[in-house]
Amino acid sequence: MAYQESWSGKIGRKLLKKQHIIDVAAGRKKADLVLKNATYVDVFAGELETRDIAVAQGLIVGLGSYEGEKEVDMTGKIVCPGFIDAHIHLESSLVSPSEFVRAVLPHGTTTVITDPHEITNVMGTDGIEYMLAATEGLPVDVRFMIPSCVPASALDESGANLDYRDVDSFFDHPRVQGLAEMMNFPGIIAADGATVSKIVASQAHHKKIDGHAPGLKGKELNAYIAAGVYSDHECADLEDAMEKLRLGQFIMIREGTAARNLEALMPLIRSPKLFDRCMFCTDDKHPSDLLEKGHIDYICRQAVALGADPVQVVQVACLHAARYFLLNNRGAIAPGYLADFAVVEDLKDFKVVSVYKKGKLVFDGETVEPFPLPAIPEHLAAAAENTFRLPVLQAQDFAEMRQKAVIGMVPGQIVTTDCGYAHEVDTAQDILKMAVIERHHNTGHIGIGYLKGYGLKAGAVATSVAHDSHNIICVGENDEDMALAANRIRENHGGIVVVEGGKVVAELTLEIAGLMSQRPLQTVNDELENAKAAAMALGVHPGIDPFMTLSFMSLPVIPTLRLTTRGVVDVATQQYV
């Protein structure tokens, strides 16, 4: 009986709310908020309209002529639906989710779809739980895709190894949209049971599955898509994108920090036949980019500068991602949709002058409105701050007398080349020692190889941001400085360190799982830029991001050679060399 009364009460409250919405929409009651004289982007008709926008109970309830308890004149401005990032790893910002939100709200972002596979590779399912807790109730709606490849490869050593049973229960969470980028496309193509079972589990919950298959073609691409993979964000050229579009995939046009594909894929946005299969994403967005360039607003600005129709750009930035992820009440300005608005000066520069989330002003053009921080359970907070399990290292731990493979860097790319073998550091030939140190389970594994093209002339650089397993990766001119750099990261519970002559000359502490900091974005960026300058002063080549570039040298799913905790891997053969 108590249950029936509770249910009845819930229905009653919802009924009253719905009746109020109808009354406001019909003009019988005043709206909570009215944006008067609003020129807005009609993403359905593909044109600009000018009407009042009435808001009640956090929803848009009417377009026309309305009165409100609060009225804001929008003359001379343009109202867009709140921008949506279709694929991002929040950890890439190097700050906590709440600090990330403070950074992107002034750029009109109101929804992001995140894949927490960085922290999940460190903490396992506790990492997913941590990120769900850390994003609860924030003024940017954070939706989740559950990591599909932990670790990215069987040759990697991460903090966890998850199968479909580990992640299945997360698909019932109200903020989970599906299964994140399926990087293990060879496993799908081979019909590997453990890999395919994750897709089956996601589909059993009627969820989406995102893709990650650069350059895949022909029957192998057919098999990958037939398995249920609906999108791809790894298209670096038009040919790859068209191959996937013709077979029904949606294309996430990526313009982030590590990879920038917008210019190459602009013909998709310019095409009236193709643009509605596209959406924008950033994938990885580092602090300097967020501070200096922006977020989805930056992509909109760049797309218009490259010749795209401004209204179509807004459709790509809002409606298409909402439609793809079945977020049916956002991405548009129409009755029944969430009152999420990015108000801009024009559709050329996309300068955001105010942002509304569910009808509440959250950015006034100068300041982000204060918001309560999510409560993170104590056991998850403690686990995130204690993810390093390895002994103090000595210089002799990096000693290696045998020849080891040389990984060649490619300027401006994260792919590598096979540069043969070396048995010692040779700065004259730009050959340095590199190590990947297992830090999750105290195995003592240290993979040793050599790196060509980095430029360092003295000292060492180390980081605990090392995709995707996030062990400690270190490159140096001598073993003593390499040991010091790795030990300093261990002491700091994560981060970035630059060492010269037995002294730490710059560092950034990332105490949340070795990936993120609790401190403000500006502080983190200042320390990061200082560390970059210190690395450059030691000889790192101009044009190379000393840490971002290094972080990809341990990812054994991107050709040609990579270094893991057990040695150098040939990605094509998945064999040690």
Please tell me the predicted confidence (pLDDT) of residue 2. 46
**Residues 42-56: what's their mean pLDDT?**
98
Taking all residues of the chain, what is their mean pLDDT, rounded to a whole number? Answer: 96
Positive/negative CA dihedral, 98, 173, 440, 90: negative
Please tell me the predicted confidence (pLDDT) of residue 413. 78
pLDDT reading at 5 higher than 60: no
Token pair listed for 444:
């003592």
Cα–Cα distance measured from residue 164 to residue 196, given in angstroms and rounded to the nearest whole number: 9
Cα–Cα distance measured from residue 185 to residue 224, given in angstroms and rounded to the nearest whole number: 7
Cα–Cα distance measured from residue 498 to residue 500, given in angstroms and rounded to the nearest whole number: 7
Please tell me the predicted confidence (pLDDT) of residue 153. 86
CATH topology of domain 80-361: TIM Barrel (3.20.20)
Q: What pTM does this model have?
A: 0.95
Please tell me the predicted confidence (pLDDT) of residue 543. 85
**Residues 288-315: what's their mean pLDDT?**
97
Put the strands of the sheet holding 83-88 in their side by side order: 83-88, 109-114, 141-146, 176-182, 208-211
pLDDT reading at 443 higher than 70: yes
Tens digit of each residue's pLDDT (9 = 90 or more) over 560-576:
999 999 999 998 888 99
Tell me the percentage of the chain whose pLDDT exceeds 90.
Answer: 93
* Crossing angle between the packed helical segments 238-245 and 262-270, to the nearest 10 degrees: 50
pLDDT reading at 3 higher than 70: no
Tens digit of each residue's pLDDT (9 = 90 or more) over 502-539:
999 999 999 999 999 999 999 999 999 999 999 999 99
Please tell me the predicted confidence (pLDDT) of residue 13. 86
Please tell me the predicted confidence (pLDDT) of residue 4. 53
Token pair listed for 240:
């790859």
Token pair listed for 260:
């920038």
Tens digit of each residue's pLDDT (9 = 90 or more) over 244-289:
999 999 999 999 988 899 999 999 999 999 999 999 999 999 999 9
pLDDT reading at 119 higher than 70: yes
pLDDT reading at 398 higher than 70: yes
Cα–Cα distance measured from residue 448 to residue 432, given in angstroms and rounded to the nearest whole number: 11
Tens digit of each residue's pLDDT (9 = 90 or more) over 12-42:
889 999 999 999 999 999 999 999 999 999 9
Tens digit of each residue's pLDDT (9 = 90 or more) over 328-342:
999 999 999 999 999
Among 35-39, 304-308, 540-544, name the one with the lowest average pLDDT. Answer: 540-544
**Residues 152-174: what's their mean pLDDT?**
95
Q: Where in the chain is the domain with CATH 3.20.20.140?
A: 80-361
DSSP states of 184-195 as a string?
-HHHHHTT-HHH
**Residues 480-484: what's their mean pLDDT?**
98
Coil, strand, or helix at residue 145? strand
Please tell me the predicted confidence (pLDDT) of residue 12. 83
Cα–Cα distance measured from residue 117 to residue 113, given in angstroms and rounded to the nearest whole number: 12
Residue 485: C-alpha distances to residues 290, 389, 445, 455, 459 (Å): 28, 16, 17, 18, 9
Tens digit of each residue's pLDDT (9 = 90 or more) over 186-199:
899 999 999 999 99
In CATH terms, the superfamily for domain 2-76 is Urease, subunit C, domain 1 (2.30.40.10)
Q: Where in the chain is the domain with CATH 2.30.40.10?
A: 2-76
